[in-house]
Amino acid sequence: MNIVVDGRYQIIKRLGKGGFAHTYLAKNLTAPGKPQCVVKQLRPKVEHPRMLQLFKLEAAILARFKHSQIPQQVECFEHQGDFFMVQDFVAGDDLSKEFTIGHQWSEAKVVGFLREMLKVLGYVHQKQAIHRDIKPANIIRRWDDGQLCLIDFGAVQDLGGDSVTPNPVVGTPGYHPPEQLNGAANFSSDIYALGMTAIQFLTGQYPLHLPKNEAKEVIWRDLASISDRLATILEQMTRVDDIERYDSTTAVLVDLERLPIETDGDSQVRSPQFMDTESRDRQLTTSRIMAIAVLIGLGFISTATIVNRIPLVQNSVGASMVDR
């Protein structure tokens, strides 16, 4: 695509098309090294003055964020009657690409995912914002360090006193809770969506494909091999009645920390009781190899010491003979 917006941003390709905006991968021609960035163009399917307000609201909220796992907003401007917003580009793959129907994440991996995302989401809530569209496609695993990044704040709601009336019809079916459709989203609404995302990874099934009980809550427990303690946490995260749900990310993290699972250096969670046989065998084999290497090393050192001492003994004998 040979399109340059405002003489500064060269469009490379389109990344996505939503209900009221298109996003493009672009090059910033005026910045040193011409780094890649994301250009978001306001293109609503239905023209409405509130769409522009919401677009500007997203830019204003992103400008408040200074978090390494949330793309930074570069600028927002008008060009030839169209409105654009420029953000940092996150090089990575969104989690929808890690999902395959029938493939189930381990309990350890899901706990690691929850711990990391709850901290990012907690930051968003501290800034008095509700994301309102948490789902695998809006979470990117960055290539260079493996960290998870939260993207696409197009449905964001500001609780910090902004007068813009939020659009109640936002979110993605299967992930958003009932109160969100009524325009009454709160912090626990994001917690619900994150819980549904975790359930999707645990069961290997899309949320919309899961059956529901009389209370309209998804039935999933028999589809995942996890501990009762984690199941209890996820059930409270995804209660239909938001009064029964966790009211903060901190509360969820407190319960997760009580699980007997530790996080390793790859930001994934491992625990002896959840480690499969192959992993244990691999660890034992590695340990044996290291032990053998140490013994060989010690043997080599001992041999080298004996060899090095032989000339000294011979020299001592020679010296004694000369003295005689």
User: How far apart, in Å, are the Cα atoms of 17 and each of 44, 92, 143?
Assistant: 10, 19, 23
pTM higher than 0.85 for the full model?
A: no
Confidence of residue 19 (pLDDT cuts 50, 70, 90): confident
CB 262 within 8 A of CB 269: yes
Q: Residues for the chain: how many in total?
A: 324
Alpha carbons 179 and 183: distance in angstroms, whole number: 7
Does the pLDDT at position 108 exceed 90?
yes
Q: What is the pLDDT of residue 52?
A: 86
Q: Which CATH number fits domain 3-88: 3.30.200.20, 3.30.70.20, 3.90.1490.10, 3.20.20.60?
A: 3.30.200.20
pLDDT tens across 130-165, in order? 999 999 999 999 999 999 999 999 889 998 765 455
Q: Which CATH number fits domain 92-275: 1.10.510.10, 3.40.50.2000, 3.40.50.12780, 3.40.50.360?
A: 1.10.510.10
pLDDT tens across 233-276, in order? 999 999 999 999 999 999 999 999 999 755 444 444 333 333 33
Let me know if 69 is exposed, middle or buried by CB neighbors in 10 A (0-12, 13-18, 19+).
buried
pLDDT tens across 1-14, in order? 679 999 999 999 99
Q: Which of 40-49, 94-103, 177-186 has the highest mean pLDDT?
A: 94-103
Phi and psi for 288 in degrees, rounded to 5? Answer: -65, -40
Sorted by where each begins, the domain ranges of the chain are 3-88, 92-275, 276-313
Supply the residues annotated as catalytic.
133
